[in-house]
Structure formats: C-alpha cells, structure tokens
Structure 1
Amino acid sequence: MLKLCGNGVKSTLPLYFRYCLPYSTSTTERASHCMEIYLVNSLGFSREEAASASTKVRHFKSTEAANSVINFFKRAGLDKAQIKNLITLVPKLLNCKVDKTLKPKIRIFQDLGLSNIEVVDLIAGNPTVLTRGLDTHIAPSIKLLKSILGTDETVVKVFKRSPWLLSCNLPKRMQPNVVLLQSYGLSSERIQNLVVQRPRFLAQDSKWIEGVLARVEEKLRIPRDASMFLSGVYLVSSLSEKSLESKYQVFKSFGWTESEVTTMVSKLPFSLKLSEATISSRLNFFMNELDYEPGYLASHPRILMYSLEKRVLPRNSVLQALKERKLIKTKTSLYVVVGLKESQFFTEFVLPYKDELPQIYESYINNKTGIC
C-alpha cells in the first residue's frame, strides 16, 4: 500500500504504482499521480475526472486509508455511484480517519433520529458536511436548531428539506437573525415556521435582513405585528427595489392610488410576485372589460392571482351564460365563483345544466373557453 511521509514514498506499492511514478517528480506530483490511478482503478473515474479530483488534495496519504474510507461508505449504505460523487465533490474525504472523523459524524445524525437511509441521503445531498468540525460546527448547529424548533423530529425535517444547512455555521449566521426577529416582536412559533419554510433567509447577513424588515414596514406599509408581515418579508427578500417599484407603477398606470396598492399588498403581498406583463393583462381584463374598480380589486386581491386562461375566462363565460338565461336566481359574483374548487364549480355551475344547455357543458369540458 502507498504511504507518503516526510520527503518521499515509502512503500509496499502495488505494481501499477511502482512503475507509473517517475522518480524525477516531486513528492506532491507523485502523490497526485498515485491518487489519479487509485481513483481510476477503485471507483471507475475517467483519467480526466481523476486528474481534476487529485488537484483538490494536497497530499494523498495512503491507499489503505482511502480503502478504509470507501469501505466505510459502503457499509453505511452508499452505492459505488454515490461514493464516486462524494469523492468527486470532496476528494479530501479519502484522507479522513474513519474512527476519529467519519463515524462520530454519522453517529450524531443517527442519534438525532435519522435512519441509515436518511443519513445516506443527507450525505449524498451535502457531502461537505463530512468535512465540517464535529464539535466546532455540526454539534453547535444541531443544538441551535433544537433550541429554536423544540424537537428532534422538526430538526430532522429541516435537514431533509435543506441539507445544505449543515454547511453553514448556524450559531454565527442564524442566531443573530433569530434575535433580530425576536426584537421585531415575532413569536417563537412564527420564527419556527420561518426556519422550516425559509431557512435560507435566516442564513443571510443580518444587515441585509434588517434592510428587508425595514422595507416591509416602510414601503409595503405592513406593520410588524400584522399577520401578513412574514409574507411581506418573503416578497421583499425575493424582489429588488427596482422591480418592486416597477410593479407599483403598473397598478398606478391603471389609475390605482398609492393607498389602493398598499391596501392590496397588506391583504396579499404575493400579488406583487406576478410579472409586470401578467399584472397588466389581468388588470386590463377586470377593469377594462368587466369594469371593476381599483378599490374593489384592492380589497379582493386574490382574484388577480388566478390564471385568466385556465380559470377566470372559462368560469366567467359559464357564469355570464347562466345569468343571461336567468338560470341563477341568487346573486353570484365572479370573485366567489373563481375561488371555488374545480370539483365544486363543476358540480354547482356546469353539471346541473348539462341537458338544458349542452353547449355550456361541452365547451367547458372540451377546452374551458368562451361560450358560443
């Protein structure tokens, strides 16, 4: 087996190592060359892949150590393709000490409640976790998440959804942001939901997050104690100030006041996630074709979120046809109709008129386009 130490190669080298190493090369070059050959022969790397991987490792310690690592991964449940992927992404894993470095990290995840299969998935999804310090990085991060989320089960849920989290120093990155949100009056439950649903947000720089929180209050006019505050946070964190302002201007171009846009956003911040073209086309339909007023749309913003082609136009055509034929005795608004589940709408507004008005039924069934 290959063993590098000091100034050269000590050996009981396999034959293919003994005859492939030019003695004129440096120790580092010989180690890199040996690693290339090892990767080709043990894990099926191409020469190009092996050469690329070997450049990421300063010293290749020994084939014995590398074999120990590969065998450990096999026993853990990783197949050859997964092991190859791990080593491709993090070649220095081959130099890790199994008992001292790898086993304790696997054990901490198992103690958390992850099954062997789930541990394999976690490692495959984020190989760099095995290069992080157990006591300096992994254990403190798990401890922090437990303190926020309360249960091991929820921590596991977060890791499954976002395995990259273990690559972050959470006490350094996340804890200050949790304190910041607490200072804004967010409850433990809302912070927990944020960690589960949007952990990447809490891994951002604290100054950036503070700017997002300020924009939600100042631009969107959503107070920090409002139920929609976090939705506003999600919106602002995903849009630039320029994009946000451009969308405001689209509404204003249709005659909306700043106050009406603010009313809409306070009720449904994600109405501003629509593209400018989509906002324009939907406002054109509701305001110019159906004569809806800005005040009504601002108070009922959900109607703007439904697809015109797939939902609003087909249902509006059915509703108008039924009203024209005086088949609807109660006053029914388009807002109520488009909000119904598909099965409910079909049962209440299409199916009962299958025989009386077959054209309504056929048109809706075939393509959900306008009624003749």
Structure 2
Amino acid sequence: MAITALNKATAFSRLSSVQFFSSITPKISQYRNQISLANLLQRYGFPPSQLHTFLAKNHFLLKNSNLNDIQKSLNILLSFKIPQNSFISLLSDCPAVLDLDFLKRWQIGISKFENLGVSPLVISNVLAVSRRFQIDPDGFLKSVGVLKGLGFNGGVLTRVLEGFPRIIVMKENEICEKIGFLEGIGISGYGIEKVFYLFPEVLGFDVENRLKPLLYEFLELGFSENEVREEIVSEPRVLGMELGEMSRCLELLRTLKCRVPIKDSIFSEGEFRAGFKVKLRVDCLCKHGLIRREAFKVLWKEPRLILYEIEEIEKKIEFLVNRMKYGVGCLVEVPEYLGANFEKQIVPRYNVLEYLRSKGALGFEVGLKSLIKPSRLRFYNLYVKPYPECEKMFGRFAKGAGIQRRHPVGMWKLFKPQEYTESKEDVNNMKSFMEPLV
C-alpha cells in the first residue's frame, strides 16, 4: 500500500514537471525565433530602434513563416535594387510583401518588363500596392498599357508610378475624369503632363467633391480663370489645398503688420502665389508639432518666414529641438527665432551660452527669448565682452563698430523702426481669421 502511494506521488511529480516544461518550451522557442528574426532583419539593414515595434505588430512573421523563407524573400527584394530607405519603408508599411510565393511570381514578372525602364522605386511602390490588392505581374502590365493609351509615357509614367502607385488599381474612366477636368479649365496636353508629373497625387482626388469646389473657391476669391489656370500649371500642388484653406491664408496676408519692403516681397509674385506660400509654411510648422492655429500665429508675428525656404525653416526647427533641447511649442512665444539668421546669429549665440554654462559662468537660465531678442551689441556686451575667449566663436566686433551709425543723423529719426506691440485692432484681426481654425 505504501509502495503504491509512493508510485502515485512519483508519477504525479513527473507529470507536473512535463506539463511545466511543455508550457515553458513554446515560449522559449518563440523568444528564440524572435531573436533570430531580429538578427536577420538587422543584417539586411533594418534599424534596430524600430525592430521591437515592428515585431510586436507583425506576429504572423513568427507564426506562419520560417526564417529560411524570410531570408529568401529578403534576397529577392534586394535583387530588385530597391534603395535602402524605400526597402525599409516597404517592410514597415507592408510586411506581407515578404510572402515568398508572391515575390517569386514578381521576380519572374519583372524580368519580363525590364525593357519598360521601371525604376527600383517604382518596383517598391508597385509591390506594396500589388500585395494589398492581390495584383499579379500580368495585371500590372495591363494597367501600364491602359496608362500608355491615355498618354502617360516616359518620365510622366515613371513619376506617376513613383508618386501615386495606386493608379494601377484605378479604372480607366476614373483616370479619364481627371484628365477631362483639367482639359475643361483650358489646360493643354503638355500642361496636363506637367501637372501629373509634378503632382501625381491629384489622380486620387474626387472631381465632383474636391477639385470642382476648390476651383469655385479660387474664382469666388476674385482670381480670374486665366490666373487660376496659370497657377495650376506653374504649381500643381495648389490642387492639394483643402477647401477654405486659401481663404484663411489670404485673410492672414491682408492683416499682416510688417515693413513695406517685406510685404512687397511677399506679394511680388501675386496674391495667389503668396497665399500658397503661407499654406506650405503652415504645413511645415504643423508637421513639426504645432497645431494650425499656432502655425498661423507664428507666421502672423514673423512674416519673414513666408519668404524663407522650407528647408531653412526645418533646419532651424531641428536645431531647436535636437540640439538646443527646446520644445517646438516655444516658437509660438518666440517666433523671432525662425526669422533670425541661422549661421550668423543662432549658432554663435548658442555656442557662447553653452560654453559659459559648461564653465559655470552663468548663474541663471538663459531662455530662448533672451538668446534671440537682444541686439548683437547688447548680447556681445552681456555674454562675450567679459569673456574674451568667447569672441572667436561669436565673431569679434570691428573696432568702433559698437558706436557707428547706419544712417546720417538727420535721417535716423525718420526711418527708425518702432518696437511693435499688438493693438486691439490687431488682436481683432487675428481673431477674425483664426476663428475657423478653433
């Protein structure tokens, strides 16, 4: 009896151990597979910082695939000579493209239409669309034939497939509708090709609900048909504006309080182009974290931004956030930062303050406003003159430069700019064009 009880206890103990290790083993195996897949993706250039999120979103790569098939898929993708950035974007946006059978079919298909001169970027975009909509290489060739029949040839066809690859799943009558709209407003065949080349995304817009109402808005704002047509051909991206957006941009321009030369420069290419420049800069500021109302306020307070290139604005924002460690929201309070010269003002002043801070010479925190707003002479006297070693990084004043006058004595009072303060009228003007944004 005692032996039987002992045997039962031993058997139960062994059974419990087997159940315990059987429940642990799959977890260990899955973890090892995850590590192996992560190492494989890294070898093919996938950024380590994105791996955790990528694997967490795509468990199917571990459950339904094996590493050998995934490696074969990656090799096929590399054989298409897709640029590294596009390669990573393709995997991130459409990981299902790693299906080996799908890629084998396309490997054979691509060899058939190499004579089309299809770029690696086009291949990347088409693969993503084809995987989502279950399109085979023959279906793609059929779509290309339709596009060529409609006049999409050479560089225009390549550009459209790069910028708007979803065109391969559109019906012919949908594409013809966009062409008919442009022809209807008097744009020639060459102009239509230019529009599609510079802004292929317009092919995805609905004519009745998007393009026609936008055209009516431009006309209601006082622009002639010829002017609108010329602006569309010159800068097709104006067709990407939201309804009411041009109205808000023009409202801002008409309430600007700035020096006459700046305003003249803003309107030098006409009111329509000036409004579109405002739209681009608002989009830029919003892309970096501001809401639209804040972006409009920054432009209204610092109109010179409308004249600056987008790349220059982005360079300053990147320096502000990544180097100076300020939040992008501080631009609402100190929009002058974006109007300051990057090489001659922002960088030298920052370098001086960082040096003094590292030496313990600053007994207080210098904010962005104190860095940007003081004149060059005042900043020099406060932070550079007491520390001669800072003169090299700041840029030394020429002898007597601090007391030189820029204008004859009799002229200075006439042209001396007054410090601007917001009046009640200005506040009301700001409210009038910001109300739709609230």
Same fold (TM over 0.5): yes
1:290 counterpart residue number = 223
Q: Displacement, 1:142? A: 1.7
Q: Displacement, 1:220? A: 5.0
Pick from 99, 120, 125 the counterpart of residue 191 of structure 1. Answer: 120
Go from structure 1 to structure 2 and tell me whether the alpha carbon gap of 1:302 and 1:353 turns closer, same or farther (over 3 Å shift): farther
Q: Displacement, 1:166? A: 2.4
CA contact (8 A) 2:161 2:167 kept: no
CA contact (8 A) 2:122 2:158 kept: no
Name whichever structure is richer in helix by fraction.
2
2:246 counterpart residue number = 312
2:97 counterpart residue number = 165
2:108 counterpart residue number = 176
Go from structure 1 to structure 2 and tell me whether the alpha carbon gap of 1:321 and 1:108 turns closer, same or farther (over 3 Å shift): closer
1:200 maps to a residue whose letter is: A
CA contact (8 A) 1:132 1:138 kept: yes
Pair 1:145-2:77 in alignment: yes
2:429 counterpart residue number = 363
Pair 1:70-2:3 in alignment: no
CA contact (8 A) 2:205 2:211 kept: yes
1:269 maps to a residue whose letter is: P
Question: Counterparts of 1:72-151 in structure 2 under 5 Å?
Answer: 72-73=29-30, 75-76=31-32, 108-109=40-41, 112=44, 118=51, 121-122=54-55, 124-135=57-68, 137-149=69-81
Go from structure 1 to structure 2 and tell me whether the alpha carbon gap of 1:174 and 1:322 turns closer, same or farther (over 3 Å shift): same
Pick from 321, 328, 335 the counterpart of residue 273 of structure 2. Answer: 335
Pair 1:201-2:129 in alignment: yes
Pair 1:248-2:179 in alignment: yes
1:338 maps to a residue whose letter is: F
Give the secondary structure class of the aligned counterpart of 1:271. Answer: helix
Query: Residue by residue, what CA displacement relative to the aligned partner does 1:267-312 show, whole Å, maximum 9, x if unpaired?
Result: 3221232222110111112245421326412333222212242x31
1:169 maps to a residue whose letter is: D
CA contact (8 A) 2:156 2:196 kept: no
Go from structure 1 to structure 2 and tell me whether the alpha carbon gap of 1:275 and 1:116 turns closer, same or farther (over 3 Å shift): closer
CA contact (8 A) 1:129 1:167 kept: no
CA distance in 2, matches of 1:353, 1:177: 68
Give the secondary structure class of the aligned counterpart of 1:174. Answer: helix
2:198 counterpart residue number = 267
Q: Displacement, 1:230? A: 2.8
Go from structure 1 to structure 2 and tell me whether the alpha carbon gap of 1:193 and 1:213 turns closer, same or farther (over 3 Å shift): closer
Go from structure 1 to structure 2 and tell me whether the alpha carbon gap of 1:287 and 1:226 turns closer, same or farther (over 3 Å shift): same
Q: Displacement, 1:206? A: 0.5
Give the secondary structure class of the aligned counterpart of 2:161. Answer: helix
Q: Displacement, 1:314? A: 1.6
1:132 maps to a residue whose letter is: S
Q: Displacement, 1:253? A: 5.0
Go from structure 1 to structure 2 and tell me whether the alpha carbon gap of 1:201 and 1:13 turns closer, same or farther (over 3 Å shift): farther
Q: Displacement, 1:345? A: 4.5
Query: Residue by residue, what CA displacement relative to the aligned partner does 1:148-191 show, whole Å, maximum 9, x if unpaired?
Result: 347989756643443222234354133235435632123xxx41
CA distance in 2, matches of 1:285, 1:262: 24
CA distance in 2, matches of 1:146, 1:70: 32
1:230 counterpart residue number = 161
CA contact (8 A) 1:228 1:268 kept: no
2:429 maps to a residue whose letter is: S
Note the residue ranges of structure 1 that are not aligned, 5 or more in a row: 1-11, 18-61, 77-97
CA contact (8 A) 1:314 1:364 kept: no
2:141 counterpart residue number = 210
1:348 maps to a residue whose letter is: P
CA distance in 2, matches of 1:308, 1:264: 20
CA distance in 2, matches of 1:314, 1:120: 39
Q: Displacement, 1:258? A: 5.8
CA contact (8 A) 2:246 2:276 kept: yes
Aligned length: 281
CA contact (8 A) 1:148 1:192 kept: no
CA distance in 2, matches of 1:329, 1:103: 61
CA distance in 1, matches of 2:420, 2:205: 36
Give the secondary structure class of the aligned counterpart of 1:290. Answer: coil
Query: Residue by residue, what CA displacement relative to the aligned partner does 1:321-358 show, whole Å, maximum 9, x if unpaired?
Result: 679xx884453422244124136843227999976986
CA distance in 2, matches of 1:13, 1:192: 63
CA distance in 2, matches of 1:353, 1:246: 54
Go from structure 1 to structure 2 and tell me whether the alpha carbon gap of 1:165 and 1:220 turns closer, same or farther (over 3 Å shift): same
Which moves more between the two structures, 156-165 or 105-114? 105-114
Q: Displacement, 1:212? A: 2.7
CA distance in 1, matches of 2:143, 2:79: 25
Go from structure 1 to structure 2 and tell me whether the alpha carbon gap of 1:287 and 1:134 turns closer, same or farther (over 3 Å shift): same
Q: CA RMSD in A?
A: 4.7
CA distance in 2, matches of 1:152, 1:290: 44
CA distance in 2, matches of 1:269, 1:150: 21
Give the secondary structure class of the aligned counterpart of 1:242. Answer: helix
